């Protein structure tokens, strides 16, 4: 069957069409068209997404993105071009979510086809299956228990799955999401929005230059992995302040995270430095060093809790999804979880999304929507009952 999928939970207007085949045990897909209209340039002056503007832009973009998507898929919009519609209904910005839902309802009514509401975070879990640059893909058979580390601008959570579509959030952020912290620190450093890729770029530059950062924590489980950076090129270190930002909740027994203290530590550090040197933000080295130590701290918390959860729950498959899963250092450190720690860890399968699907997109909504449709075929909700739920949780 052909599936049209719509994603408008934040600042990307995504519409795609896929041909889906197979039952719940072996779903497979062919991408016929996939488009995303990004609103980055609109929100960038505000340093974050402005919900009213996002709503206005989605309303403006939806018809033209649909038109282009149907054209790319060589389908005629007058006849019934697809068999099913899937749409994100939460979590996200409610005004933005509603635009996609209202649009989807109208199409479902016009074409007289079912409409499946999809949880955006479930979408990020399924985003690991399409392969970079390939049109055909399958939902792979994975071994359970599985764990999903979902990291985005609005979420930081660890989700335990004993089987498909059975979710238990075992840990989450108590305040800011990790992507939000990246964005806020980028703003403090006067870097453009979205800040994640900018911070990551500076941190990678700093690593190449061999800057040290104040990594002093030694985590028994991880050996000395994180303290290695300290030993690098002391000459460059000498010209930089000794940076050491906190790793909030690193040693708590639960699987929760906290990013607001880390962000505030960067703010206080900057304020303090500005008192001493007024033009601190013109100092590229200083910015690189801050980005490096911030990224090290942010990633260390993610990796440490993920590692502990994989051990406690004897995880066989680890899925990493959400905008922050584009982060190269996070990918590298997560991949290292498999190295040198005995057999169980070596057999851990780790899945990341293709780089172009780390951010919000509608393909992931289509995959999650199709499997939900197969599971609940007889219970597909009536379009009228579908509502936007800003704080929707996986369960
Ligand atoms: O999943 P996503 O596209 O939207 C939400 O559902 O929130 O995630 C966006 C977040 C932003 O905070 C952005 O700064 C962050 O993902 N991000 C990154 C990177 N690329 C995007 N964070 C760190 N490193 C990156 N390379
Ligand atoms: Zn997202």
Rounded to 5°, angle at Cα 297 from 47 and 348? 110
Is residue 346 very low, low, confident or very high in pLDDT (cuts 50, 70, 90)?
Answer: confident
Verify whether ligand 1 is closer than 6 Å to residue 8 (CB atom): no
Under CATH, which number does the domain 2-127+359-385 receive? 3.30.420.40
Average pLDDT over residues 277-302: 90
The reported pLDDT for the residue numbered 218 is 31
The reported pLDDT for the residue numbered 47 is 77
Q: What is the pLDDT of residues 55-99, one digit of tens each?
A: 999 999 999 999 999 999 999 888 899 999 999 999 999 999 999
Average pLDDT over residues 332-360: 84
Separation of alpha carbons 322 and 316, rounded Å = 20
Q: Mutate which of 150, 182, 187, 207 to test ligand 1's pocket (most atoms within 8 Å of Cβ)?
A: 182
pTM listed for this prediction: 0.93
Give the residue extent of every domain in the chain: 2-127+359-385, 146-351
> Which string of b and e fits 316-328 if b means at least 16 CB within 10 Å?
bbbbbbbbbbbbe
Mean pLDDT lowest for which of 115-129, 239-253, 321-335?
A: 239-253
Give how far Cα 118 sits from Cα of 6, 8, 62, 81, 132, Å.
10, 12, 18, 21, 23
Write out the E strands in the chain: 2-7, 12-21, 28-38, 84-90, 115-119, 136-138, 146-151, 156-161, 167-172, 317-321, 349-351
Is residue 241 very low, low, confident or very high in pLDDT (cuts 50, 70, 90)?
Answer: low
**2-127+359-385 with 146-351: one CATH topology?**
yes
Ion ligand 2: protein residues whose beta carbon lies under 5 Å: 152, 360
pLDDT at 256 over 90: yes
Average pLDDT over residues 162-167: 95
The reported pLDDT for the residue numbered 244 is 87
Q: Mutate which of 154, 359, 368 to test ligand 1's pocket (most atoms within 8 Å of Cβ)?
A: 359
Percent of the chain with pLDDT over 70: 91
Q: What is the pLDDT of residues 172-193, one digit of tens each?
A: 999 999 999 999 999 999 999 8
The reported pLDDT for the residue numbered 48 is 80
Verify whether ligand 1 is closer than 6 Å to residue 90 (CB atom): no
CA of 55 to the centre of ligand 2 (A): 16
CA of 2 to the centre of ligand 2 (A): 24
CATH fold of 146-351, please?
A: Nucleotidyltransferase; domain 5 (3.30.420)
Verify whether ligand 1 is closer than 6 Å to residue 326 (CB atom): yes
Mean pLDDT lowest for which of 38-47, 183-192, 200-209?
A: 38-47
| Annotated binding residue 16 | no
The reported pLDDT for the residue numbered 50 is 87
pLDDT at 52 over 70: yes
Give how far Cα 109 sits from Cα of 84, 115, 239, 300, 373, Å.
11, 9, 65, 48, 18
Query: Number of C-alpha atoms within 13 angstroms, CB side, residue 247?
Result: 22
Verify whether ligand 1 is closer than 6 Å to residue 123 (CB atom): no
Average pLDDT value for the chain = 90
The reported pLDDT for the residue numbered 123 is 98
String of DSSP letters for 230-292: GGS-HHHHHTS-------TTTT-SSS-B--HHHHHHHHHHHHHHHHH-TTGGG-HHHHHHHHH
The reported pLDDT for the residue numbered 382 is 85
Scan for tokens 């379009």, then name that residue. Answer: 383
Separation of alpha carbons 93 and 51, rounded Å = 6
| Annotated binding residue 90 | no
The reported pLDDT for the residue numbered 216 is 35
């Amino acid at each position: 069957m052909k599936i049209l999928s719509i994603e408008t939970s934040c600042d990307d207007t995504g519409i795609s069409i896929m041909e889906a085949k197979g039952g719940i045990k072996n779903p497979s897909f062919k991408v016929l068209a996939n488009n995303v209209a990004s609103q980055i340039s609109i929100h960038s002056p505000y340093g974050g997404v402005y919900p009213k503007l996002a709503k206005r832009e989605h309303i403006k973009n939806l018809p033209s993105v649909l038109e282009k998507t149907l054209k790319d898929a060589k389908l005629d919009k007058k006849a019934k071009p697809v068999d099913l519609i899937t749409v994100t209904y939460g979590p996200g910005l409610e005004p933005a979510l509603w635009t996609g839902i209202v649009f989807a309802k109208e199409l479902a009514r016009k074409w007289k086809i079912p409409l499946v509401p999809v949880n955006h975070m479930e979408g990020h879990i399924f985003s690991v299956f399409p392969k970079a640059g390939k049109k055909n893909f399958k939902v792979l058979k994975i071994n359970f228990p599985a764990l999903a580390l979902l990291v985005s601008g609005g979420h930081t959570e660890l989700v335990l799955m004993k089987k498909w579509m059975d979710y238990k959030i075992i840990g989450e952020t108590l305040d800011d999401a990790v992507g939000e912290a990246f964005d806020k620190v980028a703003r403090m450093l006067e870097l453009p929005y979205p800040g994640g890729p900018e911070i990551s770029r500076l941190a990678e530059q700093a690593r190449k230059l061999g800057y040290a950062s104040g990594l002093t924590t030694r985590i028994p489980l991880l050996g000395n992995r994180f303290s290695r950076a300290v030993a690098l090129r002391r000459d460059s270190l000498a010209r930089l302040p000794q940076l050491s930002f906190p790793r909030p909740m690193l040693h708590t027994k639960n699987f929760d995270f906290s990013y607001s203290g880390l962000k505030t530590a960067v703010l206080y550090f900057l304020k303090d430095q500005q008192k001493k040197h007024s033009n601190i933000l013109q100092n590229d080295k200083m910015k690189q060093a801050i980005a490096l130590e911030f990224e090290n701290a942010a990633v260390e918390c993610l990796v440490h809790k993920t590692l502990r959860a994989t051990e406690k729950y004897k995880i066989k498959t680890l899925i990493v999804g959400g905008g922050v899963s584009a982060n190269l250092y996070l990918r590298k450190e997560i991949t290292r979880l498999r190295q040198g720690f005995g057999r169980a860890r070596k057999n851990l399968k780790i899945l990341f999304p293709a780089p172009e699907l780390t951010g919000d997109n509608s393909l992931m909504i289509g995959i999650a929507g199709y499997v939900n449709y197969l599971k609940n075929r007889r219970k597909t909700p009536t379009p009228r009952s579908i509502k936007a739920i800003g704080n929707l949780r996986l369960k």
